[in-house]
Amino acid sequence: DSGVTQTPKHLITATGQRVTLRCSPRSGDLSVYWYQQSLDQGLQFLIQYYNGEERAKGNILERFSAQQFPDLHSELNLSSLELGDSALYFCASSVGDHPGSYEQYFGPGTRLTVT
Amino acid sequence: AQSVTQPDIHITVSEGASLELRCNYSYGATPYLFWYVQSPGQGLQLLLKYFSGDTLVQGIKGFEAEFKRSQSSFNLRKPSVHWSDAAEYFCAVGVLPTSGTYKYIFGTGTRLKVLA
């Protein structure tokens, strides 16, 4: 158990809909990272927040957004969902702000299915 | 553009045999280098990382990796594989482009199968 929690575990929704994925980092970790893992795209880094502020950005679509709240939990919002958004979404957390310097601890993921 | 290549999609080895998983990257400078393992239905776990210094890095679970600047490679090795090592392995690099923020790029993964 990494100490990172993600809810829900599974999510099934229809195209065009909007969903919110939630992540609680390990106690004491200030950074939260979001990743998408799909069969055709592989594992992709989406975005990182550190202590409430956006710190690094990867291949995140404009339809997707994220935020980190004062209690350090984070939410990933996915809107206007398409079939291709079906994937496993991971959250990870680390103590510091530099993703290269601090080990990231991954949550179990949320499996999103868009029908 | 920055990229990470794991040329082997699948590798099968016998238990007790040695293992080497290949990783090559494309980047103008030395990136931060990582190896992660993902067991079925699980998130990723960091095996080891390289930032600078000694080019041979020791990790958890008996793994090691060697950074070779001349070959832009960061291959993962284990002298004797255990059945529990069956998983998918990802190489990743952290790069800081001249414009923009830090990026974390993963390879496509190598799925390891271990024969009893």
The pLDDT tens digits of the residues spanning B90-110 come to 999 887 766 666 778 889 999
Residue B72 has pLDDT above 90, yes or no: yes
B63, B35, B44, A47: CA torsion to nearest 10: 160
The alpha-carbon gap from A105 to the nearest alpha carbon of chain B, in Å, equals 7
Peptide bond before residue A8 is cis, with ω within 30 degrees of 0: yes
Q: Tell me what pLDDT residue A100 has.
A: 66
Interface of B with A in 94-113 (CB under 8 A): 94, 100-109
**Nearest residue of A to residue B94, measured between CA atoms:** A100
Answer yes or no: are the C-beta atoms of A94 and A105 closer than 8 Å.
yes
**CA B109, CA A26: separation in Å to the nearest integer?**
26
Exposure string over A43-74, b if 16+ CB within 10 A, otherwise e: bbbbbbbbeeeebbebebeeebebebeeebbb
Answer yes or no: are the C-beta atoms of A99 and A31 closer than 8 Å.
yes
Indicate the SS3 state at residue A35: strand
> Of A68-72, B19-23, B48-52, B79-83, where does mean pLDDT reach its minimum?
B48-52
Residue B19 makes CB contacts below 8 A (sequence gap 6+) with: B11, B13, B76, B77, B78, B81, B85, B112
Q: Residue A43 is encoded by which pair of tokens?
A: 């594992």
**CB count in 10 Å sphere of residue B108:** 16
How confident is residue B20, by pLDDT bands cut at 50, 70 and 90? very high
State pLDDT tens for residues A48-94. Answer: 999 999 988 888 999 999 999 999 999 999 999 999 999 999 999 99
Determine which of B102, B108, B110, B111 to mutate to test the interface with A (most A C-beta atoms within 10 Å). Answer: B102
Q: Tell me what pLDDT residue B3 has.
A: 87
| Residues in A touching B44 (Cβ below 8 Å) | 43, 90, 92, 104, 106
